[in-house]
Structure 1
Amino acid sequence: MSDQIKHECGIALIRLLKPLSYYHKKYGTWKYGLNKLYLLMEKQHNRGQDGAGLVCVKSEMAPGYPYISRVRSVEQNPIKDIFEKVNKPLKKAKRHDADINDPEWAALNYPFAGSLYLGHLRYGTFGRNSIEFAHPVMRQNNWKSRNLVLAGNFNLTNTDELFNVLVDLGQHPKAYTDTVTALEKVGHFLDEENQLLFRKYKNEGYSNSEISPLIEKNLDIQNILERASKDWDGGYAMAGLVGHGDAFVVRDPWGIRPAHYYCDDEIVVVASERPVIQTVMNVHANEVNEIAPGEALVIKNNGEVRRDMIRVPHKRKSCSFERIYFSRGSDKSIYQERKELGHLLTPTVLKAVNYDFENTVFSYIPNTAETAFYGMVQGVRDYLVDWKIDQIQKKNGSLSDKDIKRILSFEPRVEKIAIKDVKLRTFIADDASRDDLVAHVYDVTYGIIKNDVDTLVIIDDSIVRGTTLKNSILKILDRLHPKKIIVVSSAPQIRYPDCYGIDMARLDKFIAFNAAIELLKDHGKEGLIQDVYKKCKEQENLPKEEMVNYVREIYKPFTPEEISAKIAELLKPEDCKAEVEIVYQSLENLHKACPNDLGDWYFSGNYPTPGGNRVVNSSFINFVEGKDERAY
C-alpha cells in the first residue's frame, strides 16, 4: 500500500502443557515457551509498531511469591526492548553464579519462567501512544482467581454505552477507552463468578483456604465471557489470562478480527495469523484451526482445551482488508486471493491500454501489491494465448517459421519500475519536512520507458488517501516520460470509515469521498451534502440499532467510473506531463476473489454491526461541521 495507515494489533498466546523440565530435556532449554512467544511476536511485528508487551503467569507459586509478571514498551523497537527487559534478570543472576539453565531454579527465581504467556503488538486507534495504553492490561487482586490480564486486537464502537454501564454498576473506570471498559466488564463478571462459587462452597461447609482452589478449578469462563460480551458492538479477537492459570481467546460473532490456534500434547499456541503459527511451530496449514466467530478457546489450568460458543454467530463478515493488505501474504489462501484480485482486473486494464501490448509496460508498487501484480500479468498472458491462437488460425497455414516464432514469443512487457527506499521512511518525522521527504520514498528504474510513447500500468493493493501517489509516486513515474500512467487498485474505492480496529475513522481523509464531494459541486448538487447532514443530525440521539447509513447517498449520483476519473484529476500533480488514469477493483470481483471474507464496509457502507452506522454518520457530521476528531 502506498498510503501508510495504522491497523490491527497482533496477539500471541502460549500455554505449555508439560513441566519446564520436559522442554529442557527434549529441546535443550526450559525457555522453549518464551522463545516461541518471541518468534510469534516478531513474525507479527507488521501488525503493531506503536508498542508491545507480554505477561507470564505461574500457576504453582506458593503464597508470598510473585506469580504474574508483565513488561511493556513503547520504544521505537518495542519487541526488542521488552525481551531485553525480560532477559535482564537472567544476565544479572548469571553474574552471581546462578545456574540459569536449571528449570527448577528458573521456576522459583526468574519472573518469566512459567507455563502461560500472553504477548501483544499494538497499533493505537484509541488513546495516546503511551505506556499506560499498551497491552496487556491488568486488573489485580489478592485472590488469584480474581486477577485478570487482557490483550486484544479489537475496537468497540459503543464505548460510551459500556462506560455508562460500568458507572451504573457503581464502578469508577480510570479511563474512557474500549480497553478499560472491556477489562472492567470482564473483571466485573469474573468477580461475580468468584463470589457465586464462594457462597456455594461456604454453604457446603468448606473453609476459606479450601474454597480458593475449588473456585480455581470450577471457574466458568464460558459464563463469564457470555455475560461480559453481551453488549459489545465491534470487532474483536481478545485474549485473557486469569491469575490461577486459566486462559481464553474470544472472537466477535461476525468474525471481523482474525484468530487461529494450534494444539498438541505439549503446547497450545494462539496468534492472529495462521502462517505465523505454521512457521513458528513447523506444522501444516490443516493443523492450524480458526477460532470460529462467536467462539472462545478456553484453556483450563489443568490443561483441558475447550471450544465454547459465547455469542450466537452472525453472517460471517470477516475483514476483506485483512486479505488484501494487512495479513501476511505467506498464507496459502491469502496469496491465492491476492493473485486472483489482480487476475480479475485484467479485462479492465486491457481495455484501458486499448490492447496495445507493444507500447505498454506492466509493473507494481512494492511491496504488498506484488502478488496481485502476478495475477494481473497472468491474466494478460492468458489473453495473449488466445490472441496467438487467433493470429495463427487467421493465416491458415501461410505463416513462415519466422512469423510463427514472432507470434509465439510475444510477451507482455513486465518490469520492476518503482523501488521502495525502506530506510528513508524512518526519517520522516516532522510535518514541515515530510512533503519534501515523501517525494523520495521511492526510486525508479530509468531507461525502460519509451519517451512519450509507452503507457505505464502500475498496480497498488489499495488507494486510501492518495497522498503518497500525488506527492511521490506519480511525480517520480512522470520522470520516466511515459505517455500515460494508469494506476490500478486491487481493492475497490474506499468510501467509508472503519470502526473495528483500522485507523480509518475520518471521511475527509478518503480520496474517493473527496472526489464525490467535488463532483457534487461540479454538477451543482451541493444541496445533497446538507440534506445528508440533516438526516444524520436527526438520528444522532436514536439508538444505534435504528440508525441508517445516509452517507451512501453522497455517492449515488455518480458511477464508480466517474468517481475514479475525478480521483485521477485530484491526484495528478500540477507539473505532471503524463496523462493519469485510475482503475479500481469492482466490489463484485472482490467477493469473487475473497468468497469467505465478506466484510466490505469500507467499500460498500454495509456495516455488520449497528455501531458502524452510527460511526459513519458521526464522521459525516464532523466533516460538515469542520471538527478534527474521531467519530468514535
Structure 2
Amino acid sequence: MAYYEKKYGSQRYGLNMLYLLMEKQHNRGQEGAGIATVKLHASPGEEYIFRERALGNGAISEVFNVVNQQLATFNQGNNNGNHIEKAPFLGEIYMGHLRYGTIGRSGIAYTHPFLRRNNWRSRNLCLAGNFNLANVNEIFDQIVAEGQHPRHNADTFIILEQLGNMLDSAVEELNVSLKSQGFTGEALKEKIEHDIDIEPIVKEATKIWDGGFVITGMTGSGDAFVFRDQWGIRPAYYFANDEIIVVTSERPAMQTVFNLKTDDIHELPAGAGMFIKKDGSLKISQLHTSDKIAPCSFERIYFSRGSDRDIYQERKMLGKLLTPQILESIKYDLDHTVLSFIPNTAEVAYYGMMEGFDNYLNQQKTSAILHQKKSLTEKEVEEILAKRVRTEKLTVKDIKLRTFITEDTNRNDLAAHVYDVTYGIVREHEDNIVVIDDSIVRGTTLKQSIIKIISRLNPKKIIIVSSSPQIRYPDCYGIDMSRLSEFIAFTAAIALLKEQGRQAIIDEVYRKSKAQENLPKEKVVNYVKEIYTPFTDKEIAAKISQLVRPDDCHTDIEIIYQTIENLHHACPNHKGDWYFSGDYPTPGGNKIVNQAFINYYENKNTRPIKSPGE
C-alpha cells in the first residue's frame, strides 16, 4: 500500500479507482450497489474483509459515503496516520457490483457482493457476478445430495454455497496433508493459503452450470478469481500490469479510469478463468469449451454503453442498414421527412441512419447533375446541392429513468411521463416523422408516451424504427426479458393466429410444450417458433403497428424492424441472437422458453426461471 501512496499520493488509490469504475458502469444496474475489500496483512483479531451494500439508484454514492465516514472516524482516532493495516476498506483486493435484478427479487439480501464467513481466512469467500443460471434446480439438488442445507434458494446463494463447500473441502484436505508433514500453527496457516488452488474448484463446480455468467470472487487469504461461461454470453474485459489487475464488464470504463488504449485491454475468452494469488501472480486457464460461442448481441444493441470503439461502429451500422426500408416507407420523399431518435441509447444508431440518408441523397444529387450537366444553370446546381436531410432532436426524455429495467409495477405509470416533444419543427399533415429506437420490447412506452405525444404534431405519417430485430423469445442469461406475454411481437403473432382462425396452432404448441415439461433440458425442443412460422416479419410488424396505436391517434403509423441478417452483418462477433431467433446456445434456454409458453397458455403471470421449491 505504501507504493501506491507514494506514487499516486493516496492510501485510497484502489478505493478511488473502484468508485470511478462503478460510476462509469452505472448503466449496468440501478437497483443497488455493493463493494467488498480484502486486507492481506491484517493481524489476528483484526477485521480483514469489509463489505458495504445499498439499494436504489443512488446506491454507489451511499456506499462510498458510508466508507468515507468510517475512514474519517478511524483517522480521527489515529492522528499519526500510520495504521493503514487497520483502516476499514483500505486493502489490496477490491470488488464492486451494480445490481440489475433479473428474477423479480429485490432487497439488500439479494444485493452483491455475497459473503460466506469462516474463522479460517482461506475459507472466507466473497462473490459477485453478472449472470443468470438456467438450471439452478439441478445445482440445488446436487449440493443437497452432498449433505448441504442452503438457507436460500436464489441462484447466487446456491453457487456461493456450492463453491464455498468445495473451498472448505480443499482447505481441509490441505490441512490434513500438511499436518502429516509436520506443519503446525502459523506455518500451517501460511502454507495452506499459499498452496490452495481455486482453479480446480471453479472448474468442477461450473461443469454442470447452464447459463450466462461472469463471476468474480475473492477469499479472505488473498486469492482472487474471475470466470466466464463457455458460450461467451456475458462480457468480461481485463487489464494487467505490474501495479494492478482489473476486470470489468465494459471496456471503456477501464480506458477512461486508467487512461488506456483500446488495444491495452483484452477480452477474457469464453469458458476461461483468471486466477490471481496474493503475491500478484496471474494465471488464465481454459476451464470449459463449447462449439456454440454466442456472445449476447443485446449487449451491443442496448445494454452496454456506446462509448466502446467497436460498439459505437456496430450501432452506427445498425442504423445505416435500415435506410432502404425507411426510404421505401416514406416513398423516397426526403423533403417531407424529419429524422429523429428516442434518447438516449438510440443516438448512435441515429447517426448511422443519417449517414445512410446522406449517402442516398448524395447519390441523387450526383445523378441529377450528371444527367442534366449541359443544361443546368448555376442557380439550379446550387438548389440541388442545397438539399439536406432534415434531422432534428424531436423527442426529449424528461425523466432519467430507463423504464425497461425498472420494477414491473412501476413501468406503466412511468411510461406515460417519460417523453416530451420539440414543437415547431414538423409541418402538419405534410411531413413524415421517422424516429429510431434501439429496441421495442413491450410497446408500452411507444403507445402510452412516444406515439401519443408525437401524434399531437399532426404529421402525415409516423414511422418508428427499431435498430434491433423483433424480440420474440425470453432471455434466461441475465437480461430481464422472461415472460412471453410482455413481448409485443409475441402478442401480435397470437392476435394474427386468432384473427385468422388458427387457434389450433396455439393449442398444438401448448400440447407439445406440455408433453416435454418434465424432460431433461437436453431433450427439449423450442416449439414456440411455430407461433411465428405462418407470418412474415412484415406481417407481424404491421400488426404491432396496430397494437401500439393510441386510441385517440388518427395518424398513419408504421413499425420497421432490423433484420437478423443485418444484425449479424453489423455485429459479426456477437451472434447470440436467441431473443430474435429462438436459437438458444444452451439446453437450458429451450427449457426456459418451453416453460414460458406453458405459463402464458395457462395464464400464470410468473417468470419461467424458477428457484428451487417454487
Q: TM-score, normalised by structure 1?
A: 0.94
Matched, 1:21 2:6: no
Cα distance change of structure 1 residues 38 and 344 upon mapping to structure 2, 3 Å threshold:
same
What residue number does 2:49 align with?
68
Q: Which residue of 11, 14, 20 maps to 1:39?
A: 20
- Residue 97 of structure 1: CA displacement? 6.0
Which letter maps to 1:523?
Q
What residue number does 1:262 align with?
239
What residue number does 1:89 align with?
70
- Residue 45 of structure 1: CA displacement? 1.0
Per-residue Cα deviation, 1:163-208 (whole angstroms, up to 9, x for no partner): 1111101000011111011111111221222122223223323225
What residue number does 2:525 align with?
548
What residue number does 1:49 align with?
30
**For the residues of structure 1 that align with 2:494 and 2:221, how far apart are their CA atoms?**
56
Per-residue Cα deviation, 1:225-262 (whole angstroms, up to 9, x for no partner): 11010110000000000110010010000111111111
- Residue 390 of structure 1: CA displacement? 1.2
Asked whether the equivalents of residues 39 and 93 of structure 2 are also in contact (C-alpha less than 8 Å), the reply is yes
Which letter maps to 1:69?
F
- Residue 474 of structure 1: CA displacement? 0.3
Cα distance change of structure 1 residues 42 and 423 upon mapping to structure 2, 3 Å threshold:
closer
Asked whether the equivalents of residues 189 and 227 of structure 1 are also in contact (C-alpha less than 8 Å), the reply is no
Structure 2 counterparts to residues 309-388 of structure 1, below 5 A = 309-388=286-365
Which ranges in structure 1 are unaligned for 5 or more consecutive residues? Answer: 1-19
Per-residue Cα deviation, 1:560-591 (whole angstroms, up to 9, x for no partner): 00000000000011111210000000000000
Asked whether the equivalents of residues 103 and 607 of structure 2 are also in contact (C-alpha less than 8 Å), the reply is no
**For the residues of structure 1 that align with 2:74 and 2:175, how far apart are their CA atoms?**
41
What residue number does 1:77 align with?
58
Secondary structure, counterpart of 1:162 in structure 2: helix
Which letter maps to 2:320?
H
Secondary structure, counterpart of 2:53 in structure 1: strand
Secondary structure, counterpart of 1:358 in structure 2: helix
**For the residues of structure 1 that align with 2:602 and 2:414, how far apart are their CA atoms?**
32
Asked whether the equivalents of residues 41 and 85 of structure 2 are also in contact (C-alpha less than 8 Å), the reply is no
**For the residues of structure 2 that align with 1:157 and 1:201, how far apart are their CA atoms?**
39
Cα distance change of structure 1 residues 612 and 425 upon mapping to structure 2, 3 Å threshold:
closer
Q: Which residue of 599, 603, 606 maps to 2:583?
A: 606
Secondary structure, counterpart of 1:479 in structure 2: helix
Secondary structure, counterpart of 2:212 in structure 1: strand
- Residue 362 of structure 1: CA displacement? 0.8
**For the residues of structure 2 that align with 1:439 and 1:58, how far apart are their CA atoms?**
49
Structure 2 counterparts to residues 125-140 of structure 1, below 5 A = 125-126=102-103, 128-140=105-117
Structure 2 counterparts to residues 132-171 of structure 1, below 5 A = 132-171=109-148
Cα distance change of structure 1 residues 447 and 124 upon mapping to structure 2, 3 Å threshold:
same
Which letter maps to 1:303?
G
Cα distance change of structure 1 residues 96 and 436 upon mapping to structure 2, 3 Å threshold:
closer
**For the residues of structure 1 that align with 2:262 and 2:12, how far apart are their CA atoms?**
25
- Residue 549 of structure 1: CA displacement? 0.4
What residue number does 2:253 align with?
276
Matched, 1:107 2:88: no
- Residue 349 of structure 1: CA displacement? 0.7
Cα distance change of structure 1 residues 348 and 467 upon mapping to structure 2, 3 Å threshold:
same
**For the residues of structure 2 that align with 1:435 and 1:322, how far apart are their CA atoms?**
24
**For the residues of structure 1 that align with 2:297 and 2:218, how far apart are their CA atoms?**
29
Cα distance change of structure 1 residues 465 and 434 upon mapping to structure 2, 3 Å threshold:
closer
Cα distance change of structure 1 residues 76 and 185 upon mapping to structure 2, 3 Å threshold:
same
Structure 2 counterparts to residues 584-623 of structure 1, below 5 A = 584-623=561-600
Which letter maps to 2:485?
D
Which letter maps to 1:71?
E
Secondary structure, counterpart of 1:582 in structure 2: strand
Q: CA RMSD in A?
A: 1.7
- Residue 79 of structure 1: CA displacement? 0.7
**For the residues of structure 2 that align with 1:434 and 1:395, how far apart are their CA atoms?**
56
Asked whether the equivalents of residues 544 and 559 of structure 2 are also in contact (C-alpha less than 8 Å), the reply is yes
**For the residues of structure 2 that align with 1:58 and 1:190, how far apart are their CA atoms?**
19
Instruction: Name the % identity.
Output: 54
Per-residue Cα deviation, 1:114-149 (whole angstroms, up to 9, x for no partner): 101111110111362111111111111111111110
- Residue 351 of structure 1: CA displacement? 0.7
- Residue 448 of structure 1: CA displacement? 1.2
What residue number does 1:17 align with?
none
**For the residues of structure 1 that align with 2:152 and 2:414, how far apart are their CA atoms?**
37
- Residue 373 of structure 1: CA displacement? 0.6
Q: Which residue of 213, 230, 234 maps to 2:211?
A: 234
Matched, 1:464 2:445: no
Asked whether the equivalents of residues 133 and 209 of structure 2 are also in contact (C-alpha less than 8 Å), the reply is yes
Which letter maps to 1:301?
K
Which letter maps to 2:517?
E
What residue number does 2:612 align with?
none
Structure 2 counterparts to residues 154-553 of structure 1, below 5 A = 154-422=131-399, 438-553=415-530
Cα distance change of structure 1 residues 328 and 432 upon mapping to structure 2, 3 Å threshold:
closer
**For the residues of structure 2 that align with 1:76 and 1:594, how far apart are their CA atoms?**
31
Cα distance change of structure 1 residues 42 and 186 upon mapping to structure 2, 3 Å threshold:
same
Q: TM-score, normalised by structure 2?
A: 0.96
Per-residue Cα deviation, 1:396-434 (whole angstroms, up to 9, x for no partner): 4110011111112211111111011025889x9999997
**For the residues of structure 2 that align with 1:155 and 1:189, how far apart are their CA atoms?**
21
**For the residues of structure 2 that align with 1:326 and 1:185, how far apart are their CA atoms?**
30
- Residue 270 of structure 1: CA displacement? 1.1
Cα distance change of structure 1 residues 425 and 552 upon mapping to structure 2, 3 Å threshold:
closer
Asked whether the equivalents of residues 75 and 81 of structure 1 are also in contact (C-alpha less than 8 Å), the reply is no
- Residue 291 of structure 1: CA displacement? 0.8
